[in-house]
Amino acid sequence: MRLDLIRTACRMTTLAAALLPLGCGDLEAYPGPEYAFQATFGAFPSSSVRNLQGEGRAFRDSGHVYLKFEVPQGTLQAMLGGGFTPLSAEAFAKETTGAAIYGPRPGWWMPLPGSTVLLESKRFHPTFSTGEAFAAYEPATSTAYLYWSGMD
């Protein structure tokens, strides 16, 4: 009996050593854009949301999401709620480039220069007690960009 336990322990140690270089993966990343959308709005995208791109991470007491999708402007306004205020192009660029937001920023998340509706919120941070969000909208293409980060 004791010899069987030692053999089992040796096999498990060998298996663990063999798998160790593989790591645990990116456990905190949302598994797809629709899950990043769900984490943001509390539901999966409706049929009015098209060409969704998204990614983000949440781990313990913090998280962030980048989204890009096509949607009618009125639908976007309803989705965002009333906690956003207008922002100048200069302020938007300053707040959403470099170290101002969690990175790396996805290559497809490029809201300027075509966006004419630029917004910020210090209250939009789904499930977290503090945070910030930035939204941009290009009316010519009905393209919305949203970034948020939150922390407890």
Q: pLDDT tens, 97-128?
A: 865 577 678 989 999 788 999 999 988 887 78
Output the pTM of the full model: 0.79
The whole domain housing 105 covers: 27-151
Is 100 inside a domain boundary? yes
Kindly state whether residue 41 falls inside one of the protein's structural domains.
Answer: yes
- pLDDT for 85 equals 95
Domain count of the fold of the chain:
1
Question: Does residue 37 sit within a domain?
Answer: yes
3-state secondary structure of 74: helix
Task: Report yes or no on 51 lying in a domain.
Answer: yes
In a domain, 95, yes or no: yes
Flag whether 54 is in a domain: yes
Is residue 6 included in any domain, yes or no?
Answer: no
Name the 3-class secondary structure at 116.
Answer: coil
Residue ranges of alpha helices (H) inside the chain are 2-19, 33-41, 73-80, 89-95
Instruction: Look at residue 85 and tell me if it is in a domain.
Output: yes
Half-sphere exposure of 127 (CA within 13 A, CB side): 14
